[in-house]
Amino acid sequence: MAADLPPTLSIQLVEEPRLLKLKKMFISKFQSTPKFYARAPGRVNLIGEHIDYCGYAVLPMAIEQDILIAAEPLNTPAIHLANTNPLYSDFTTNANNIQINQTEPLWHNYFLCGVKGIEVELAELCSKSERYIGTEGGGMDQSICFLAEKGTAKLIQFNPLRATDVRLPEGVAFLIANSCVEMNKAATSHFNIRVMECRLAAKLLAKSRGLDWKAMAKLQEVQVKLKLSLEEMLAVVEEVLHPAPYSIEEIGKNLGISSKELRTQILSQNTQDVTTFKLYQRAKHVYSEAARVLEFKKICTEAPEDAVQLLGDLMNQSHASCKDLYECSCPELNQLVDICLQFGAIGSRLTGAGWGGCTVSMVPVEKLESFLAHVKEAYYKNNNQRLALGGNSLFATNPGGGATIFLES
């Protein structure tokens, strides 16, 4: 990924009101002028949820909305951080002694993770960096942030990391709607439990087929070793795993190791106390979602007449699988998806980790205006907490460009 470092753009700050405001705040806070600015876009995952860390391709796009940073390198090892949002307090630390307290999800920890991450190889710098916060995510967010290009979504494949353009159909818009439910995946174990369930399912499937299960941690690795299609892997799941939750003892017995060995050698720190794991449901989601991603890409490429309907169906199936098999939805997200479908979306689903956060909906452009008005009315209007987030909660977006560094010219 070294060749894909963010581009550097020379810009006139007067034409960039947000950067200008940032510059003023920087000067008033640090009595010094920023030497450069950086931009990183947000992202929305169109399809392929919770499968990147299992080794499977995903299909996100960067959005036009972004975060901006103004920075000045210092000659001392001190790091001073400030946020334009007064809710997040200033923070100062010594770069030679970075401590990241994983039990407290403080905003500046993400910055410190980046600094700490520079110590590891550049190729996987950003996705590895995120793990210092305590979550065992895949590389989707960081990959699309660096590899995005304006006007196209991307199929992101892993090992080795590569991105292929996916031209979205004409005549539809992608709408992001915030459920206004917050789930901090670094402060809870929801996310990592799922990663561990996938890891354990991979090991059990590998063991059942006589593979070296100790060397395997991802469901995709098992598929590659067995040289089977995703459909065939679904049949293997049906044959090998049972729908009832597995106890830690049962998994240990199956692998021929003690519960203690299983905990210390396989599980993450924040899943040590988990006692049951749903392996069948999680593996079924991963293999079927991985197949949906490839189907989504194929439809975009071949562009049949009913492409929009077919893509919508895939998005809806993806949401159902996230809700029922992966159990990473929540009542508010399900309600929001139902509302979006009711008011004109052809496909709607939770996007990202889930348990809160946003939905992404595909809406015909001619229905956009009435869609926005109805969703506002049905989901946001009578709820003060949701209203407080104002215009930022519901918006349409196009595929945006990737991370950039700005130098004032």
Interface residues with ligand GLA (CB under 6 A) are 45, 49-50, 52-53, 137-138, 140-141, 352-353
Q: Closer to ligand GLA at the Cβ: 47 or 375?
A: 47
- Minimum Å gap between C-beta 127 and ligand GLA is 7
> CA 348, 181, 192: angle at the middle one, nearest 5?
85
Nearer to ligand GLA, 33 or 184 (CB): 184
Phi, psi of 383 (to 5 degrees): -135, 110
In the complex, the smallest distance separating the C-beta of residue 33 from ligand GLA, rounded to whole angstroms, is 34
Residue 299's CB is within 10 A of a number of other CB atoms, namely: 20
Instruction: Decide whether 191 or 406 has the Cβ nearer to ligand GLA.
Output: 191
Query: Cis before residue 160, ω within 30 degrees of 0?
Result: yes
Catalytic residue among 66, 141, 165, 306: 141
The helices-and-strands tally (H runs, E runs) of the chain is 14, 14
Q: Does residue 52 carry a catalytic annotation?
A: no
Please report how close the Cβ of residue 338 comes to ligand GLA at its closest, in angstroms: 21
Beta carbons within 8 Å of 264's beta carbon, 6+ residues apart: none
Q: Which is nearer to ligand GLA, 34 or 117 (CB)?
A: 117
Closest approach, Cβ 174 to ligand GLA, in A, equals: 16
Strands annotated E in 72-158 = 78-81, 91-94, 153-157
| For ligand GLA, the closer CB: 140 or 172 | 140
DSSP of 352-409, one letter per residue?
SS-SSSEEEEEEEGGGHHHHHHHHIIIIITT-HHHHHTGGGGEEEE------EEEEE-
CB of 354 to ligand GLA, least distance (A): 7
* Number of residues in the chain: 409
Q: Which residues are catalytic?
A: 141
